[in-house]
Structure 1
Amino acid sequence: MLVDFDSIPEDAKVWIYPSSRKFYANEIDEVTQKVKNFVENWKEEDNTFKASYKILYNRFIIITADDIDSTISNKDIDSSIAFILELQQTYNVVLLDKMNVCFKQGEFVQYKELKDFKKLLKNKAVTAKTIVFDNLVTTKHEFENYWEIAIEDSWYSRFLKK
């Protein structure tokens, strides 16, 4: 059942899918509707299942599900991945590569391959204070507190020159 994102408990599961490009203005309403429809119908037969979503920066699809009262099975995960793969194909984007780096550059969100991001660090095009998105967070609490953080406070800090 689709519920308000804020009503999902902090220990709920979160999946973040960063798009390899920003969704275009003419795509965002359609993408949002497709994600909403998926979440509304995901585990439709289970009345205790609660899930929600957000689309942020026209680039990130965030899906969260409360797995306290309702177990999330491998079949449920498979159906969500199939949905994301369908979005990838429809919009010609990459959503499942969590090792690429998303970071803020002014008001814009950039998406780079890790090797290119390391070059940016080496060349000081980004600094320890640059905000990165840790798309490996797994709970709503982590998402709300550790998703957008400075490089120096993230696992990417290992690439900073010592």
Structure 2
Amino acid sequence: MYIPFDQLPPQSRLWIYQSNRPLTEAEVAEIKPLLERFATEWSSHGKGLQASAELLHNQFLVLANNESATSASGCSIDASVRFVRELEERFKVSFFDRTRLAFLKDGKVQTVGMQELKQKVAAGEIDENTLYFDTLVNNYGELQARWPRPARNSWLSRYF
């Protein structure tokens, strides 16, 4: 069962996939109905999930499930991964590259390779107050309250 993204309960579980590039407006327009259809049909052991899906900042694909209604099973999570892989293929984009970090700078999403991080911190291009899109956020309430969040309030704090 589809739930509009902004109506998810705070405890809803999230899976955040960061694309390797911003999606174009045309791609976003094409992907959004696919996301809604997937969320509508997504199920666990034959029982429909109370799910939603959204594209944020034209760079983050977020799948969500109200776990207090029905938990996502291993099979349903596998189905979601297959769906995201299909989107990758169709739109020639990668959602599984975990070697890039995303920051909000000057109102735009900017990505930095993990191997560049220390250099960017040393140069002052990224500091403890730089807003970081932590893809490890795992529930809707946290996404709403602290996403993006200052880098010092994430696992990146060890760099400052």
TM-score (norm 2): 0.91
Q: Where in structure 2 are there 5+ consecutive unaligned residues?
A: none
Query: What's the CA shift string for 1:23-55, capped at 9, x where partnerless?
Result: 0122110111211111111118525x2111221
Aligned partner of 2:86 in structure 1 is 86
Letter matched to residue 107 of structure 1: G
SS at match of 1:16: strand
- The aligned runs of 1:60-75 (5 Å cut-off) are 60-75=60-75
Q: Normalised by the size of structure 1, how large is the TM-score?
A: 0.90
Q: Which runs of 5+ in 1 are unaligned?
A: none
SS of corresponding position for 1:20: coil
Provide the identity percentage. 26
Quick one: distance in 1 between partners of 2:157 and 2:93? 27
Cα distance, 1:97 vs structure 2: 2.9
Please report how far the alpha carbon of residue 6 of structure 1 lies from its aligned counterpart in structure 2 after TM superposition: 3.0
Deviation at 1:147, TM superposition (A): 2.5
Q: For the residues of structure 1 that align with 2:89 and 2:121, how far apart are their CA atoms?
A: 32
SS at match of 1:94: coil
Contact 1:14 1:65 in 2 (8 A): yes
Q: Which runs of 4+ in 1 moved over 6 A?
A: none
Provide the aligned C-alpha RMSD in A.
1.6
Where in structure 2 are the equivalents of 1:110-129 lying within 5 Å?
110-129=110-129
Do 1:17 and 1:98's aligned partners in 2 also have CA atoms closer than 8 Å? no
Query: Across the two proteins, how many residue pairs are aligned to each other?
Result: 159
Matches within 5 A, 1:9-48: 9-43=9-43, 45-47=46-48
